[in-house]
Amino acid sequence: MRSAVVVFPGSNCDRDVEKALLYMETGPVDMVWHDDAAFPHRPDLVVLPGGFAYGDYLRSGALAAKSRIMGAVRAHAEEGGLVLGICNGFQILAEAGLLPGALLPNASLRFICRPTYLRVENNDTPFTCSFADSEIVQFPIAHHEGLYYLPDDELDRLERNGRVVFRYADRESGDAGEAYSPNGSLRGIAGIINERGNVLGLMPHPERATVQGLIWGMDGKGVWRSLEEHFGAWEGK
């Protein structure tokens, strides 16, 4: 699997995604500058990493959504290529219209950094196929704008189509929903996928739960494992 990690000015999880991919030995990783018009090599996976692209000064992700590389990202998605937006990357995908909805300031109006439990709501995607159905996993969050918002009727449609992929949950009971949102996210939504099933955005950070020996576990490995499985390259690493 060949990955391209987009580096916006102000991205700060770009190196972490690279580190996680290299740690998982998923294949070559290209770091691609926001001002480039195209990817240096045709990627299997494009990752929009976390951080504060362009300082998030206008509105999280708003300026990044207009940067030059986003043309190539959009084209890649339209051809069915896989795109993964993590945290700020999710905000950028929402601003770019590649995913529906908006990420609003956390209900507490504070930045929150802590581990969260998620229930895998759809394991029939290239990003989640190695997880068990309704598996509870621990991924950390670190954001100020993570409250997922979409009008009610559109949320219903999203749910009906199985496009809610991760939902904040209770570790013990396995219950999931708004009561477990650390940020007030509607219906406990932590990650969604587009209609075609090739563009995933999530606020929690799988790359922060990948490398051994660091705080907050390694459940994030499941995402990279799924992708490798999807491309038929996973050899039980």
Q: Which stretch binds other proteins (CB under 8 A): 39-47, 64-72, 155-163, 208-216?
A: 208-216
CB of 111 to other proteins, least distance (A): 5
By CB under 8 A, tell whether 54 contacts other proteins: yes
Q: Maximum distance among all alpha carbons in the chain?
A: 47
Handedness of CA 134, 109, 220, 46 (dihedral sign): positive
Distance CA 134, CA 101 (A): 24
With CB under 8 A as the contact rule, which of the stretches 64-72, 128-136, 200-208, 229-237 interacts with other proteins?
A: 200-208
User: Which residues are tagged catalytic?
Assistant: 87, 205, 207
Q: Please identify, using beta-carbon distances, which residue of 14 and 228 lies nearer to other proteins.
A: 14
| Cβ-contact 9, 92 below 8 angstroms | no
Rounded Cα gap, residues 192 and 190, in angstroms? 7
In whole angstroms, what is the distance from residue 19 CA to residue 39 CA?
20
Closest CB to other proteins among 183 and 198? 183
Angstrom distance (rounded) from CA 65 to CA 70: 6
32 counts as binding other proteins under rule CB under 8 A: no
Nearer to other proteins among residue 21 and residue 164 (C-beta): 21
- Residue 208, interface with other proteins (CB under 8 A)? yes
φ, ψ for residue 169 (rounded to 5)? -145, 170
- 213 contacts other proteins (rule: CB under 8 A): yes
CB 176 within 8 A of CB 145: no
- Give least dist CB 47 to other proteins, A: 15
Considering the rule CB under 8 A, would residue 6 count as an interface residue with other proteins?
no
Beta strands in 17-135 (DSSP E): 29-33, 45-48, 82-86, 102-104, 112-120
Determine if 20 is a binding residue for other proteins (CB under 8 A): yes
Query: Does the protein bind other proteins through residue 37 (CB under 8 A)?
Result: no
User: Tokens standing for 99?
Assistant: 């995913």
Kindly tell me which of 19 and 157 has the beta carbon lying closer to other proteins: 19
d(CA 49, CA 215): 20
**Does the footprint of other proteins cover residue 114 (CB under 8 A)?**
yes
Q: Tell me which residue has tokens 């926001």.
A: 34
Span from 150-158, 186-194, 213-221, 222-230 in contact with other proteins (CB under 8 A): 213-221
> Which residues contact other proteins (rule: CB under 8 A)?
9-10, 12-13, 15-16, 19-20, 33, 50-52, 54-57, 110-114, 140, 142, 144, 205, 207-208, 211, 213-216
